[in-house]
């Protein structure tokens, strides 16, 4: 199968990962109400990994309507600590609450990919990373957020591991690309298997 590739995302991080890997692709943001999709899933007891897969599929299917011949890459990431699923902080006070709730604990990042072609799901995958935050004081969190500024509001955990967010952690178990929100190694392997990229 040789088909063009489309990334169903407006994320500059995901786009950069594909560009850096040498892939040629189009990108289009999906028009999906994530919170409306998440609510019934969470109420039915779906795991955070299942929620990430459902959102990735919804995004891929939405964009695939505009690119009928392409393989569309849908992706999403959920972050969870026990039963709590986190969302992007709305403001700096909520970012501080996020970080303090993670202090001294291990949370999970669940990164899902779904490939859709001609209305059919070709492949589903989810990778999970486990992130242990060192004990944080409220004063340190305040100083940290003052330094990083609005960037803290751009990600679900209120941190960017590739920036100053690395200072929040004492242990990380998992793939770097999973943490960034797009498990690249399994994705590239599947695209090679499908004949969509050079093998």
**Residues involved in catalysis:** 76
Query: How far apart, in whole angstroms, are the C-alpha atoms of residue 163 and residue 115?
Result: 30
Write out the two tokens for 38.
């998440």
Question: For residue 48, what are the contacts with CB-CB under 8 A and spacing of at least 6?
Answer: 78, 79, 80, 85, 108, 110
What is residue 199's DSSP assignment? -
- How many other C-beta atoms are found inside a 10 Å radius of the C-beta of residue 31? 9
What is residue 196's DSSP assignment? S
Write out the two tokens for 20.
């850096």
CB 36 within 8 A of CB 54: no
Write out the two tokens for 178.
């999973």
């Amino acid at each position: 199968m040789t088909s063009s590739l489309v990334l169903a995302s407006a994320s500059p991080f995901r786009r950069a990962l594909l560009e850096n890997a040498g892939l040629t692709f189009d990108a289009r943001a999906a028009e999906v109400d994530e919170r409306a999709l998440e609510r019934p899933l969470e109420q039915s007891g779906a795991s955070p990994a299942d929620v990430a897969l459902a959102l990735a599929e919804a995004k891929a299917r939405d964009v695939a309507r505009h690119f009928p011949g392409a393989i569309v890459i849908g992706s999403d990431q959920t972050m969870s600590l026990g039963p709590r699923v986190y969302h992007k902080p709305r403001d700096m006070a909520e970012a501080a609450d996020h970080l303090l709730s993670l202090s001294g604990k291990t949370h999970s990042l669940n990164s899902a990919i779904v490939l859709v072609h001609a209305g059919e799901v070709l492949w589903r995958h989810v990778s999970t990373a486990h992130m242990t935050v060192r004990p944080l004081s409220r004063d340190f969190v305040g100083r940290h957020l003052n330094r990083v500024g609005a960037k803290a509001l751009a990600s679900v955990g209120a941190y960017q591991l590739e920036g100053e967010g690395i200072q929040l952690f004492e242990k990380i178990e998992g793939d770097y690309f999973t943490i960034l929100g797009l498990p690249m190694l399994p994705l590239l392997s599947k695209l090679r298997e499908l004949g969509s990229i050079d093998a």
